Structure 1
């Protein structure tokens, strides 16, 4: 007889895509590769997808006012102002692993990804202030950042995207972060893509060795 119990997925991944390109996007190709390889290593993998490329609401005065109001005291309009943020926060909280696939536009992240961060960075939900300073509440999660650039060298003095993402994820409590870069694609071409693909395989073999040995 089939079990009546609901089995929790062995690993829950939230994939966040930020590239404006839907076809031919190197970030999306790398994210596809990572998920295929991860699925081979982890039985029962569950993937939720959030494509932010079409844009998200920006934080405005109504959002700030609602967020500063105690949850029990919020009226209907305030709850509506935070509805999308609540949805995005719930996705992050439910995930064991974040896979953030982003290009670097003009030395930083796309505006849509910044809007996503603004929506999920919520005091009392994903971080809090204590007498010892801010404390991230999204602990126990891994994050993989797939960063693709046309000409910017990831990790260089003009890369303001990956250091910022690493900092803000750490601020929220996610400190296990791996940056995988296919950088300077316009200069390095397929070599950049191949290097990043090989990095993906090495990282997955490192992080999920028991599963890798079993397949």
Structure 2
């Protein structure tokens, strides 16, 4: 049985295209999975502040109750990522970038000495590699252009913490007419069908 972690960040909730694609992928995988879902719109994380960083840097045995509560955001997330066999990110494009809710989550996933470390030859990711599927939904056409800030950022970030098996599934032109939207979503679902065969093996 595969442990699948789904992290959605659309502010449209279940009506968001990225959320719908993540559900389509789960349907392709079938029922023989252990599913953990995180909805960053329904339960947004606060922006990272210095008090939380200080809690991370304080040994667990020495943390105050308040510090432990702050550290729990990151500790729980990292454990969920470690436990997963496959991770799915629903990532709509907002103003040329990733949703701020997702950025707040990623800030808690990058922990020096836990998910990455610096060495004399550069940074080394500490997470065990696993498939990461990014469902990138956009109103316009951005893939392969300089306006696509999401792909290089997410690639750099995930590689930094040790995740290199990245699969980007794009559904673009979703605000460019009904026909264009349906074609894009159909193509994305077909790609997800192929991916489900790979990750379920």
Please, what TM-score do these two structures have when normalized by structure 2?
0.91
Could you report, residue by residue, the CA deviation over 1:143-163 in whole angstroms, capped at 9, with x for unpaired residues? 000010001422321010122
Kindly indicate whether residue 34 of structure 2 is the aligned counterpart of residue 46 of structure 1.
yes
Distance 1:206 1:79, change over 3 A: closer
Counterpart-to-counterpart distance in 2, 1:39 and 1:155: 32
Q: State the 1:58 CA deviation.
A: 1.4
Residue pair 1:96, 1:140 contacting (<8 A) in 2 also: no
Residue pair 1:127, 1:138 contacting (<8 A) in 2 also: yes
Q: State the 1:204 CA deviation.
A: 2.4
Please, what TM-score do these two structures have when normalized by structure 1?
0.85
Gaps of 5+ in 1: 1-9
Counterpart-to-counterpart distance in 2, 1:206 and 1:14: 16
Matches within 5 A, 1:74-89: 74-89=63-78
Q: How many residues align?
A: 197
- Alignment correspondent of 2:117: 128
Kindly indicate whether residue 13 of structure 2 is the aligned counterpart of residue 25 of structure 1.
no
- Alignment correspondent of 1:154: 143
Q: State the 1:207 CA deviation.
A: 4.3
Residue pair 2:142, 2:148 contacting (<8 A) in 1 also: yes
Matches within 5 A, 1:183-194: 183-187=172-176, 188-194=180-186
Residue pair 1:107, 1:152 contacting (<8 A) in 2 also: no
Mean CA deviation greater in 94-103 or 71-80: 71-80
Could you report, residue by residue, the CA deviation over 1:8-66 in whole angstroms, capped at 9, with x for unpaired residues? xx2111000000112422111111110111126xxx31110011114202110101222
Residue pair 2:86, 2:199 contacting (<8 A) in 1 also: no
Q: State the 1:206 CA deviation.
A: 4.1
Residue pair 1:152, 1:158 contacting (<8 A) in 2 also: no
Mean CA deviation greater in 110-119 or 80-89: 80-89
What's the RMSD between the two structures over aligned residues? 1.6
Matches within 5 A, 1:60-139: 60-139=49-128
Counterpart-to-counterpart distance in 2, 1:152 and 1:106: 13
Could you report, residue by residue, the CA deviation over 1:118-152 in whole angstroms, capped at 9, with x for unpaired residues? 01111122112223221111123110000100014
Residue pair 1:127, 1:137 contacting (<8 A) in 2 also: yes
Residue pair 1:100, 1:145 contacting (<8 A) in 2 also: yes
